[in-house]
Amino acid sequence: MDRDSHCTAERELLEAVSRITTSSTTSPSDEENQPKAEISCQVRQENPEKDDTQDSNATLSPNSSMTTKELQDYWRNEKRQCKQIKLLFDIPSTRIVEHHLSKYVMYKIIILQTGSFDSNKSVIERRYSDFEKLHRNLLEEFSEEMEDVTFPRKTLTGNFTEEIINERKLAFKDYLRLLYSMKYIRRSKKFIDFLTRPELQEAYGCLRGGQYTKALEILLEVIGLQERLTRGNPVSVVPTLCAIVVCHKDLENPASAFEYGEKALSRLRVHTSHRYYIPLLETMITLAYELGKDFLSLQETLEEWKAKKDPIRVFTLKELAVREYVQ
């Protein structure tokens, strides 16, 4: 093969593998109701401000002097490093709750992210009426996407028999799997609220009541699930991170408070108009001073922001936190 033909072959190979590595890593289009795995390469650097579909070209750097065979081997190894990741839903058990005059079944839902990122599972419980409310809400906003999604109907009798409960366990598992496979639904506030809101409401209720240890326990459980569900919108977890900061601070754990404060602040670097930005900065200055860390740069950032903005009333971080999820 002459030099021009050899270069052409290399160029064509590079273009081909580039198309492979830059293909979408999200679930299938809304027209297809069959879930597919999301693809993420270990070599990829994720940009938190972009969607969960990322271009991996920037992190891949094959040497231009490689032969065609070397290039093939290189890309074969890169593909081996790609891990399939997606959220898996399982409903392994149930329990019957009898409360005064009411009786209902609670379904234990385990949510696990596959792949190489983590293996921490989230465990929540929901009852039939919770699923039913979610279905109604999604029908209002996504009538077209939900057209072929079936929902297990109520029965007049036998709702507490083992047979009916087992049927619903399987039905709800498939229901969640199918909803998650549809991009616009899994990113919707209604779907995310179904999976996180009851726990967050309980946590913030504990926080308002001064039960910081209990609030912190719940918040640390839910933050992992929130982050999995909102990878394309990292700013949405800022209130939860800040509530964790408040709990740690009131429990006199300044180092842990500062750690979570840094996580929250990193998500607000380009969102300085966010309502949590200034209260978080002020809290971080206090914590940094207490821990003997550099607080001057934080103070300068705060002063610069105040110089550019009109003076307005700003709540403290704790005041903002206790206002979340107030009915």
Contact 27, 38 (CB under 8 A): yes
- HSE on the CB side for 210, CA within 13 Å? 0
- For 79-131, give the DSSP string: HHHEEEE-EEEEEEEEEEEEETTEEEEEEEEEEEE-SSS----EEEEEEHHHH
Side chain identity at 53, as an amino acid letter?
A: T
Fold of 87-187: PX Domain (3.30.1520)
pLDDT at position 268 = 94
Nearest to 248 by CA among 289, 267, 220, 226: 220
- HSE on the CB side for 5, CA within 13 Å? 2
Residues 6 or more apart from 210 whose CB is under 8 A from it?
A: none
Cα 225 from Cα 247, distance rounded (Å): 19
Cα 279 from Cα 287, distance rounded (Å): 12
* Chain region(s) in the chain for CATH 3.30.1520.10: 87-187
In this structure, the strands spanning 38-41 and 82-85 are antiparallel
- Read off the pLDDT of residues 190-205 as tens digits, 9 standing for 90 and up: 999 999 999 999 999 9
The CA-atom distances, in angstroms, between 182 and each of 31, 60, 124, 253, 256 are 9, 30, 21, 41, 37
pLDDT at position 117 = 52
Contact 89, 180 (CB under 8 A): yes
Q: What is the pTM of this model?
A: 0.73
Cα 35 from Cα 26, distance rounded (Å): 10
What CATH architecture is 199-323?
Alpha Horseshoe (1.25)
Give pLDDT < 70 ranges for the chain: 1-85, 115-119, 310-311, 327
The CA-atom distances, in angstroms, between 267 and each of 3, 107, 137, 146, 272 are 50, 34, 29, 33, 10
pLDDT at position 53 = 41
Residue 38 gets which letter from DSSP?
E
pLDDT at position 75 = 57
pLDDT at position 73 = 60
pLDDT at position 49 = 39
Cα 307 from Cα 97, distance rounded (Å): 57
The CA-atom distances, in angstroms, between 65 and each of 6, 99, 130, 240, 258 are 11, 73, 59, 49, 47
Map tokens 């918040």 to a residue. 219
- In DSSP terms, which residues pair with 95 in a beta bridge? 106
pLDDT at position 309 = 75
Cα 8 from Cα 289, distance rounded (Å): 61
Residue 167: alpha-carbon gap to chain centroid: 29
- Read off the pLDDT of residues 235-289 as tens digits, 9 standing for 90 and up: 999 999 999 999 999 999 999 999 999 999 999 989 999 999 999 999 999 999 9
pLDDT at position 59 = 38
Structure tokens at 195: 């999976």
* Chain region(s) in the chain for CATH 1.25.40.10: 199-323
The CA-atom distances, in angstroms, between 232 and each of 35, 51, 237, 273 are 19, 5, 11, 19
Cα(first)–Cα(last) distance of the chain, in Å? 74
pLDDT at position 119 = 61
